[in-house]
Structure 1
Amino acid sequence: MLQKYLLCFIICVFAGDLVRSQPVGDPDPQRFQQQIETFLEWDAKNTFPEDAILFVGSSSIRFWKTRRAFPEYPVINRGFGGSHISDVRHFYKHVIHKYEPSVIVFYAGDNDVAADKPVEQVVDDYRNLTERVQTDFPEVKFVYIPIKPSSSRWNYWERMEKVNRRIKSYNQQYEQLFYVDLATPLLKNGKPDDSLFMEDLLHLNDKGYAAWNRVLAPALDTLY
C-alpha cells in the first residue's frame, strides 16, 4: 500500500513539473498598439538624444522617473506596463532599434513568470532579444535588471530567482551583457520590504526607486 502511495506521489510530482515546463502562448502584443503609437507620435514631434541610455521594459521601467533620477545622462524611457519580453521583441523596431542607444537598461520577465511561462521559455525569450541587439549593435552595453521580489507575487519567487540566476550565468559569457542586482536591495530579512512598494505591493514607490537609483548610478558611471 505504501509503495502504491509513493508511486502516485512521484507521478503527480512528475506531471506537475511537466505541465510547468510546457511553453505558454504569448499574449497578443496588439494590446499595446495605442501606447506604441503614442511613442511614435512623440518621436515625430520631438528629437531624441543620440547615444542615449535607453530604459525599456514593463511597468517598473514605465513608472521609473529616469530623467529625474539620472539628469547627467541622455535618457530615453520606453516602458509599457504589463509587457512581457515577447512584447518587447515584437515592438523591437519601435522601442529599441530606432534609438541606436549606447546603453540599454532592461526590466521584464516579471509578468512572464506570473503568467506561468516556464523558466526556460522566459530565458529563451531573453536570449533571443539580446542576440538581436548584439547583432544590430555589437557595441551596445545591455544591462539586465533581475526580476524583483514583491509580496504580491511572492509565490512565484522561486521561479523568478531561477530566471535571474540563468540570465546572470548567460550574461557572464558576453562582454556586452551585464547583470546589476537591483533585487537584493528590496529584501529585508529574506522577504520583500513592503515599505519600498506601493499599496499594491507590486510596483515600487519613491523609496523603492531611490534604492534602485543608488545601486544603478555607479554602474552607469562605469558603463556610459
Structure 2
Amino acid sequence: MSGSIAFVGDGLTAGGRWEEWFHGYTVHNLGVSGNTTDDVMARLPEIAELRPDAVVLQVGTNDVGWRRSDEYIVRNIETILVLLRRGLPSVRLIIQSVVPREREYAPTIRSINRHLWQFAPTQKVVYLDLWPTLAQPDGELDPAYSEDRLHLTDAGYDAWIAVLKPAVEDIFERPPVTSAIPVQQV
C-alpha cells in the first residue's frame, strides 16, 4: 500500500506511533495533546494544505472532559467532516468513535457516537467504532488498556491499531470519493 495519511486529533492521536504502524504510507501525525473539536476545526487549513489521500480523525474526549454537551461536540465534528469533504473532495475519511473514558461520561459519549455513526455516510465517511474493542460493558475504558481511564497504554494502542489498520487498508482499496455531497445551508 501507499498514499499519504493525516492522523488528526488530540493527545491519543499525538501519542501514536503512526509511521511505525503504517509503514508504506506517508504519515502526518497531526495529533495535539489537549485538542478539542474547536482546536481541530481551527487547524483545518493546515490539514488541507497537506492534501493527504486519507484523513483519520479521532477527537472529542477533551470536549467531554470539559463537560461540553453531546450536541455541541457532534455539531463540531460534523462541521469538521463537512469542511474536510468540501476542501478535499476526493479524500478518504475515517471518523473514529469518541474513545471511552471514565464510566460517568459513558452516556454522553454513547450519544455522540450514535450521532456520528448516523451522520458519517452522508459525507461518504467511514465510521470506525472503537467501543467494542476498548470499552467495558458499563462504558468505562477497559483498565487493561489504560492506567488513568483516559490515556492509552501500549496494550491500548495495540488494541486500537488491530481494528484501525484493516479499516485504513480497506479505504485504500477503494477508489477515492469523486465529489462532495452538498450540504444544505440553513
**Counterpart residue number, 1:160:** 109
Alignment of 1:93-104 (within 5 A): 93-94=45-46, 96-104=47-55
| Aligned mate of 2:74, from 101, 114, 123 | 123
Task: Provide the rounded CA distance (Å) in 1 between the counterparts of 2:88 and 2:43.
Answer: 17
User: What count of residue pairs does the alignment treat as equivalent?
Assistant: 170
2:42 corresponds to which residue?
90
CA contact (8 A) 1:51 1:100 kept: no
Given that 2:81 and 2:123 are in contact with CA atoms closer than 8 Å, whether structure 1 keeps it comes out as no
TM-score by length of 1: 0.72
The answer (yes or no) to whether the contact 2:8–2:29 under 8 Å persists in 1 is yes
Quick one: higher RCO (CA 8 Å, sep 6+), 1 or 2? 2
| Residue 65 (structure 1) aligns with | 17
- One-letter code of the match for 1:90? A
TM-score by length of 2: 0.86
Question: Which of these two proteins has the greater Rg computed from alpha carbons?
Answer: 1
Distance 1:178 1:101 in 2: 16
Measure, in 1, the Cα distance between the counterparts of 2:79 and 2:141: 30
CA RMSD after TM alignment: 1.5
Q: Which of 157, 175, 185 pairs up with 1:209?
A: 157
Letter in 2 for 1:219: A
Paired residue for 2:129?
A: 181
Match of 2:7, SS?
strand
Structure 1 residue corresponding to 2:4, chosen from 9, 32, 52: 52
- Which 4+ stretches in 1 moved above 3 angstroms? 188-191
Unpaired runs of at least 5, structure 2: 173-186
More helix by share: 1
